[in-house]
Amino acid sequence: MKRLILACAIVGLSSAALADTGSAAASTPAAAPAPAVPAALSSNPAQVGYSIGFLTGKANMQKLPDMDIESYISGFRDAYAGKPGALTEEQMKSVLTDFQKKMADAEAAKAKQEASDNAAKSSAYLAQNGKKAGVTTTASGLQYEVVSVGKGAKPKSTDKVKVNYEGRLIDGTLFDSSIQRGEPASFELDQVIAGWTEGLQLMPVGSKFKFTIPPSLGYGEQGAGPIPPNSVLVFDVELLDILKPDAPDDSKSAK
């Protein structure tokens, strides 16, 4: 129980206070004047208590929108007063374990539905995109468009390459870009997603291609970071060079 309460306080202070305060400062040229402090919060202990309570509530309101706040306050007061709990600690553990299971089940159901919805969207998008002029679909399902063709050699799956690229979801969301970072990426072709391993081998050095990668050749049902499950990935790629095996690995992106 102590660990749960402490975690709530820490989450509130770190994510809500520091992150929100930082983003507000970055986006606001001049800070608005602070509101007058209510008389009830004139003392430092009162301000500390209110701040912890407010930020804990702010940090948890999204994940626990249906919390019974009055019961929360009652339990908090009883604990601080040293009173015996209205529930035994065993009962509390059982209640919270059941609650966590329900939350996990709800998250799993949501993720399953999202994966199903994305799979349908991805299939429809690939079917439509494959009909466009200039789009070639390989046996694996990879779709590519030739923007320009270079005069260099084509890499093998065991080669290390240097590229510039941008990756987007089908709604246009940019999730990765060596161009924005201002530095090309280099990696071994057999260490990245299958769509990249196949697609880069079609490109002579100096070429620019557009890849439309189905989920089966990307991150599949699991997704990765900002990439939802069963997502089509759209990459604009420029192959800059084939590197020697001992060349430094500049980036883990696109893996």
Burial class of residue 135 (count of CB atoms within 10 Å of its CB; 0-12, 13-18, 19+): middle
Domain ranges of the chain: 138-243
Is the pTM higher than 0.85? The answer reads no
pLDDT by residue (tens digit) across 73-102?
999 899 989 999 999 999 999 999 999 999
In this prediction, residue 98 carries a pLDDT of: 95
In this prediction, residue 42 carries a pLDDT of: 83
Mean pLDDT per block of 10 residues along the chain (255 residues) reads: 41 45 48 76 88 89 87 91 92 94 92 93 97 97 97 95 97 95 94 96 97 96 92 97 71 48
Distance set, CA 185 to CA 72, 115, 164, 237, 248 (Å): 50, 30, 6, 11, 10
Q: 8-19 burial, b for 16+ CB within 10 Å, e for fewer?
A: beebbeeebbee
Residue 8 CA from chain centroid, whole number: 22
In this prediction, residue 14 carries a pLDDT of: 43
- Residues annotated as catalytic are 165, 175-176, 193, 219, 235
Does residue 59 contact residue 16 with C-beta atoms inside 8 Å? Answer: yes
Structure-block tokens of residue 91: 């009962």
In this prediction, residue 30 carries a pLDDT of: 58
Where does 138-243 sit in CATH, by number? 3.10.50.40
